[in-house]
Each structure stands twice: as structure tokens, then as C-alpha cells.
Amino acid sequence: MTTRTNPFTRRRFLTATGMIGAGVILSGCGGGSQSPGAEPAEGDGGASGYEGPDVELAFWNGFTGGDGPFMQELVDTFNSEHPNIAVKMTVMEWADYYQKVPTAVQSGNGPDVGIMHIDSLPTNAARNVIVPLDDVASALDLKAGDFADAVWTAGEYDGQRFGIPLDVHPLGYFYNKTVLESAGLDPENPPTDRTSYEAALETLAAAGIQGHWMSPHPFTGSMTLQSLIWQFGGDLFNADGTEVTWAEDPGVQALTWMVDAINNGWSPSDVGQDADAIALQNGQAAFNWNGIWHINSLKEVPDLQWGVAPLPNIGGTEAAWAGSHNFVVMRQRTPNEDKLAASRVFINWVSQQSIAWAEGGQVPARNSVRESAEFEALPEQAALAQQVDYLHFPPAVPGISDAFKDFDQALNEAVLLTKEPAVALSEAAERATKKLEENRDRYEG
């Protein structure tokens, strides 16, 4: 049994943010376009600046980790350049954020601007927590060709855009060069396909090293399993999010591969939360599939020799899990046109500073910034940005993240060796299918 230390709480429930956000239902039912005040605002969406009276904007987010100071610096710079707009940033843990925002909006005390993960946009749009931002996208001349298709499409719900993508944060492949070298493997050329990856794990095992610690927890085991399902040619849901498909053969192959890593001695049998990441840092493991935010964490470890690359292709199809932070504007009980205009100016301005945000450990959402020389000068982020054309997001369906509770349970049962992968996935799919049916009534009724 491995040590259950807990240093990365900020990201732990990244994949569960949508279901947390579903907890409070605002007045009105159905898509945001059916509710008063949801129509896009007139004007240029903030492209030409703000010349109105002094306003203060409340900006809430969950950047409690290493990226927080980067966003605070951007806010401070914005305030210094816009004397008639004062942005006040409030930061809280993401779990608290997704509980507090709907309640605050319902009571008329919500923030003006916020950040939401892309999988939480449909739920909050359907429940009138956030308003459409089509005017902002138009003002910034943002279009599908400016972004990876997956992240752009995922920001829409019910025919309208509710998020302006700031970044994508994909799962990446981190490796400990010292451990590889100690087992006689090339530290500068880590394995990148199934054959070479499994061969490296066998070599490591022969040297007494369990090379890849399989996490049974949502963070990061769920991200790993999702990536593997896509790599094996499957999906989690059908295209419109009405059916669960993770129990089909690709899902069984993916989860079986994770379980086989334990049975083959490549991984411990009971990996504690975050122990996979710690094992890489401590030289107990060679490989760790973790998020791009892990880059700055590893840079803080003295004398650690490490590298990062796109995920190895285990299943035959290039694919990787990713999240995305999106700017949103909250619905106000009594809309203030000056604040709405100022909010759009703020979103516009930060969107243009995405190279500075990339330094905080993110991949810019804009193709032009991602392809710039400035971004290429960030080698770790640039390495993971190579995956941008094959990143995946859930379908834009309200409440779809509720189904991930069952997905995560299947992962936990199989990786802890209490159920066979096929059984765990099938039972989870049956439960999740019922939740999808209930949510269709709940959000569309």
C-alpha cells in the first residue's frame, strides 16, 4: 500500500466540476436563450474599449495554485491600464466555487465575470447562471478556424456561445530521466507506443522499479482511462450525449490495460491519491500521466531530471484528455450595461495576453499564440501542445458530468482489483444511463 499524501488538492476534482455546478437550479428551465436577459448585448463586445463611468467588477475563479499569481498579475496590469475599471479578483477552491456561484447568482450577489471549466458550461447555461457571449466572440473576430475544433465546439450550448476559451490543459507524459537511466533505458528517448512502453516497463520491473503507478482515483486515473478509451478507438458517450458507450470493447480494453499493469508488476496494487505524482518525483517510478499544470510543480523539485511529452499511443489512435478554462459572464438580477461593457473589455484584454497565461502552465487556446515564437520558447508547454488536434471534451449536455461519478467508480473498482473491468464498466454504464435520462427531464422539462 502506498502513502496517501495530498499536495495537489486544487486540481483533484477538475473532471467533476460540472456535477458540482449542477447543485443549485435557478429559476427558469431549458436553454439560456429562452430566459430574459440572455440575448447578446448590443455594441462591439468591448473591442473598442470602455469609456463609461467608473465601475468595479467582481471576478471569481478557482486559481488557488501556481497559476493564481499569474492571473493576479494580469488583473493588476489590466487595472493599471484601465483607470475607469477596477477588477477585484476573488479566489477559492474549485469545489467551493461551483457550489457558491449558482447560489450567489440566484440571490443577486453573483460575480460579474468568472472562469468555468468547459464541461460545466452547458449545465450553468441551461440553469441561467451564465449569459451568452456571442457578441464577444464576434467583437474579437473569433471563429472556429482560430481554435482547435474540439475546444471551440465545446463552448457552445443550445446554438449559442457561453464560453470564451482561455486555454486548454491536456494530460501529458512525464518521465524521470534518472530512473530510466538507472534501468539502462535512454533518458532522452522515452517510449512512445505500446510495444516500446510495455518493453520499458518490463525492463524497469526487472530492475526492481514499478514504472507506472496506476491511480484508482479520478485525479489522475480517470483522465488516464478516458485517454486510453479514445486511443483504443472508443468514446465515453455517443455524439449527442444521450447514450453511455464506455462499456463497449474499447473501454474494456483500456481499463484492462490499466489492470494488467498491476497484475504484471508494473504498478503497485493500491496507489494513494497523488502518490503516482510523488513516486515520479521521488525516483520510485519512471512514468506519470498528469496534467500540464504539473510542469511548474516539477520545476520546483531540486535536482530532479525530468522530461515531458505527448501521451504514448497505447491503443493505436492518438488521443488525450484535456480540460479548458473559459471566461463566462454571470447573469445579473438587474443587468448593469456599464458593467457588462467593462466585463467584455476585460475578457477581450486578458484573451490577448494568453502568452503570459501560458507561462503559468497552460496551452493558449488561440492558434496564433500557440504557434508563436514566444510560445515555442516554453518547451514543456509546447511539447504538450502537440496534442491539440486530438484532444477530447465531453458532449455539450447539461449535467453530463453526473455520469462521471459512475465512471470513476468503475475505474476504482477495477484498478483496486475488486471487479473485472468489463463488469465494472457495464454496471457503471447502466447507472449513468439512468442519470442521463433523469437529467434530460430535469434540464429540458
Write out pLDDT tens, residues 215-263.
999 999 999 999 999 999 999 999 899 999 999 999 999 999 999 999 9
Question: Which among 205, 138, 159, 179 has a CA at the least distance from the CA of 344?
Answer: 138
User: Which CATH number goes with the domain that contains 153?
Assistant: 3.40.190.10
pLDDT of residue 177: 98
**C-beta separation of 385 from 363 below 8 A:** yes
**181-187 LR contacts (CB < 8 Å, sep 24+):** 182/207, 182/209, 183/207, 183/209, 183/286, 185/286, 187/305, 187/307
* DSSP designation for 275: H
Question: Considering only 11-25, 60-74, 235-249, which range has the smallest mean pLDDT?
Answer: 11-25
Q: List the beta bridge partners of residue 244.
A: 237
Residues 300 and 405 in one domain: yes
| Beta strand pairing call for 85-91 and 55-61 | parallel
Burial 214-224 (b: 16+ CB within 10 A, else e): bbbbbbbbbbb
pLDDT for 3 beyond 80: no
Residue 436 lies in a domain: yes
* The one-letter amino acid at 206: A
Encode pLDDT of 164-203 as tens digits: 999 999 999 999 999 999 999 999 999 999 999 999 999 9
Residues 316 and 439 in one domain: yes
Encode pLDDT of 290-316 as tens digits: 999 999 899 999 999 999 999 999 999
For residue 226 the three cell numbers come to 478516458
Instruction: Give the CA count within 13 Å in the CB-facing half-sphere of 32.
Output: 30
For residue 334 the three cell numbers come to 438587474
pLDDT for 16 beyond 50: no
Residues 336 and 290 in one domain: no
pLDDT of residue 28: 33
Residue 390 lies in a domain: no
d(CA 238, CA 234): 10
Residues 414 and 274 in one domain: yes
pLDDT for 21 beyond 90: no
The phi, psi pair for 234, rounded to 5°, reads -105, -165
pLDDT confidence band for 157 (50 / 70 / 90): very high
Number of H helices, E strands in the chain: 19, 13
pLDDT confidence band for 282 (50 / 70 / 90): very high
Question: Which among 404, 298, 275, 296 has a CA at the least distance from the CA of 63?
Answer: 296
Q: List the beta bridge partners of residue 382.
A: none
The pLDDT > 70 percentage for the chain reads 89
Residue 264 lies in a domain: yes
d(CA 234, CA 245): 8
Residues 122 and 185 in one domain: no
Residues 333 and 188 in one domain: no
At 286 the three-state DSSP class reads coil
Encode pLDDT of 85-102 as tens digits: 999 999 999 999 999 999
| Beta strand pairing call for 164-165 and 167-176 | unpaired
Question: What DSSP letter does each residue of 62-128 carry, written as one string?
Answer: ---STTHHHHHHHHHHHHHH-TTEEEEEEE--HHHHHHHHHHHHHTT---SEEEEEGGGHHHHHHTT
pLDDT confidence band for 317 (50 / 70 / 90): very high
Residues 203 and 157 in one domain: no
- In sequence order, the 6+-apart residues with CB closer than 8 A to the CB of 178 are 187, 283, 304, 305
Encode pLDDT of 323-382 as tens digits: 999 999 999 999 999 999 999 899 989 988 889 899 888 999 888 889 999 999 999 999
| Beta strand pairing call for 160-161 and 156-157 | antiparallel
Encode pLDDT of 400-442 as tens digits: 989 999 999 999 999 999 999 999 999 999 999 999 999 999 9
pLDDT of residue 66: 79
Its domain, for residue 272, covers: 171-322+399-444
Residues 191 and 122 in one domain: no
Residue 210 lies in a domain: yes
The phi, psi pair for 117, rounded to 5°, reads -70, 150
Residue 299 lies in a domain: yes
Residues 97 and 132 in one domain: yes
CA–CA distance from 163 to each of 115, 130, 136 (Å)?
9, 9, 10
If you average pLDDT over every residue of the chain, what do you get?
89
For the chain, the residue count is 445
Residue 39 lies in a domain: yes
Identify the domain boundary among 314, 333, 352. 352
**C-beta separation of 392 from 250 below 8 A:** no
The pLDDT > 90 percentage for the chain reads 76
Residues 136 and 152 in one domain: yes
Dihedral (CA of 359, 375, 365, 18) sign: negative
Note the pTM of the prediction, 2 decimals.
0.90
Residue 357 lies in a domain: no
Residues 98 and 130 in one domain: yes
**C-beta separation of 225 from 242 below 8 A:** no
d(CA 159, CA 30): 13
Question: Which among 153, 107, 110 has a CA at the least distance from the CA of 131?
Answer: 110
Domain count, the chain: 2
Question: Which among 70, 48, 132, 63 has a CA at the least distance from the CA of 94?
Answer: 63
More confident residue, 153 or 264: 264
pLDDT of residue 46: 65
* Omega prior to 220 cis, within 30 of 0: yes
Residues 112 and 211 in one domain: no
pLDDT of residue 321: 97
Residue 115 lies in a domain: yes
